[in-house]
Structure 1
C-alpha cells in the first residue's frame, strides 16, 4: 500500500478525480443533450399534436358548417316540396272542377241538342200543319170564292209580325149583294188565331176554339158565313 506521503500519490489521486470528474461531466452532458433532445422532441410532438388538433377543429367547423348548410338546404327543399304538394293539390282540385264543368257543359250541350231536335221536329210538324192549312185554304178558296163569291186577301202588318188573311164575304145581304162581311185571321205556331170580324160576332171565340180543335177551315168559314147571314137578317 502506497503511503500518502508519496509525492506521486497526490498526482494519481488528482488525475483519478479529474478523470472521474470528466466522466461525470461527460455523463451529465449526455444527460443534458438527451434532455434537450427529449425537450425538442416533446416540443415537436406538442406542436404536431396542436397542429393536428387545430386542423381537426377546422375540419370539424367545416363539417359543422356543411351540416348546417345541408340542414338549411333540406329545410328549403322540404318547404318547396310542401308548396309543390299544395300547388299539385290545387291543380288537381282545379282539374277536377274543370272536369265537372266539362261534364256539365257536355250535359248542357246534349240537352240543347235534344231541345234543338225537338224544336226542329216541332217546326217540321208546324210546317206540315201549315202546309195542310194552306191546302185547306186552297180548298176553301175554291169552294167559297168560286161558288159563293168570297175573296181572300193577304195583309202585311207593320206593327204585328207575320201575315194575316182576310176573308171577304159577299152575297150575304139580299138587299145589298155587294156589301162586304169580313173576318181576319192568322196562323201562330201552327195554330189558327182569329183577329177580328166586321161586323163583330159574339160567337167568334167559340168558333175559333172549335177551329183549333178540328182544324177544319172550310167548316169554320161555312159557320162564319151562316153567322153573317143570320146577322144580316136581323
Structure 2
C-alpha cells in the first residue's frame, strides 16, 4: 500500500472527525439552547396561565360585585316605586284629611267659644258672690265688731266686744273652702263639735246666719 495514500487517508479521517465533533458540538449547543428556550417558554406560559387565572378570579369577583350592586339598585328602584305609589295614595286622601282637619278646627273653636262663655258666666257669678260677701263683711265690721284675716286656705273671723269683763278679748273661728261649701274649724276658745256647721259661699243669708250663730255661741261661752 502506498504510504502517502495512507497518510492522506488519515488526514482526511482526522478532518472528518473534527468536522463531526464540531457539528456534534453545534448540535448539542443547539439542543441545549432549544431546551432553555423551551423551559423559558413553558415558564412564561405557566405565568401567563396563572395571570389569566387571577384575572378570571378578579373578573368573577367584579361580576359578583356588579350583580350585587345591580340587585341593590333594583331593590332601591322597587322601593322608590312603592314610595311613589304611597305618595299617590296620600295625595288622593289629602283633600279628605284636609276637610277633617278643618272640621276639627271648627269644633275646637266652637268648644272654645262655649268654654269662654261658661268662664265669663262663672266669673260674673263669682264677682256677684264676692260683692255680696264684701257687703256682708262691711255690715259685720260696722255692727258686730267683727274683723277678718285672709289666710292661705281659709278665712279667719275675729269677734270682739263679746266678753263684758274684757271687751278686747278675741273670739275666733275659721272657714275652710271645700268646693262650693265653707266649713267651720279652729274655734278659739273651743266650742266643741262644729264640723257640721257649713254655709254656701254665694248665699249671703246662709253666711249671715252662720256668723250670727257663731257669735251667739261665743256670747253664751263668755257668760259661763
**What is the TM-score of this pair, normalised by structure 2?**
0.51
Q: In structure 2, what is the Cα distance between the partners aligned to 1:172 and 1:130?
A: 27
CA displacement 1:155-188 (0-9 Å, x = unmatched)? 454xx5xxx5432222333444432111233668
Distance 1:141 1:189, change over 3 A: farther
Distance 1:140 1:178, change over 3 A: closer
Which residue matches 2:120? Answer: 120
Do the aligned partners of 1:186 and 1:192 also contact (CA within 8 Å) in 2? yes
Shift in Å, 1:221: 1.7
Q: Does 1:91 align with 2:81?
A: no
Unaligned runs of at least 5 residues, structure 2? 1-81
Shift in Å, 1:83: 8.9
Do the aligned partners of 1:130 and 1:190 also contact (CA within 8 Å) in 2? no
Q: In structure 1, what is the Cα distance between the partners aligned to 2:133 and 2:179?
A: 12
Where do residues 1-234 of structure 1 align in structure 2 (5 Å cutoff)? 87-145=87-145, 150=146, 152-157=147-152, 160=153, 165-185=155-175, 192=182, 194=184, 196-209=186-199, 211-212=200-201, 214-216=203-205, 217-234=207-224
**What is the TM-score of this pair, normalised by structure 1?**
0.49
Distance 1:106 1:201, change over 3 A: farther
Shift in Å, 1:134: 0.8
Distance 1:83 1:224, change over 3 A: closer
Distance 1:201 1:113, change over 3 A: farther
Q: In structure 2, what is the Cα distance between the partners aligned to 1:203 and 1:213?
A: 24
SS at 2:148 equivalent: strand
CA displacement 1:25-51 (0-9 Å, x = unmatched)? xxxxxxxxxxxxxxxxxxxxxxxxxxx
The CA RMSD measured in Å over matched residues stands at: 3.4
Unaligned runs of at least 5 residues, structure 1? 1-81
Do the aligned partners of 1:126 and 1:189 also contact (CA within 8 Å) in 2? no
Shift in Å, 1:141: 1.7
Distance 1:138 1:190, change over 3 A: farther
Distance 1:86 1:176, change over 3 A: closer
Shift in Å, 1:224: 0.6
Aligned length: 144
Q: In structure 1, what is the Cα distance between the partners aligned to 2:180 and 2:124?
A: 10
The higher radius of gyration belongs to: 1
CA displacement 1:89-138 (0-9 Å, x = unmatched)? 32121331232122123212211220121011111111111111111111
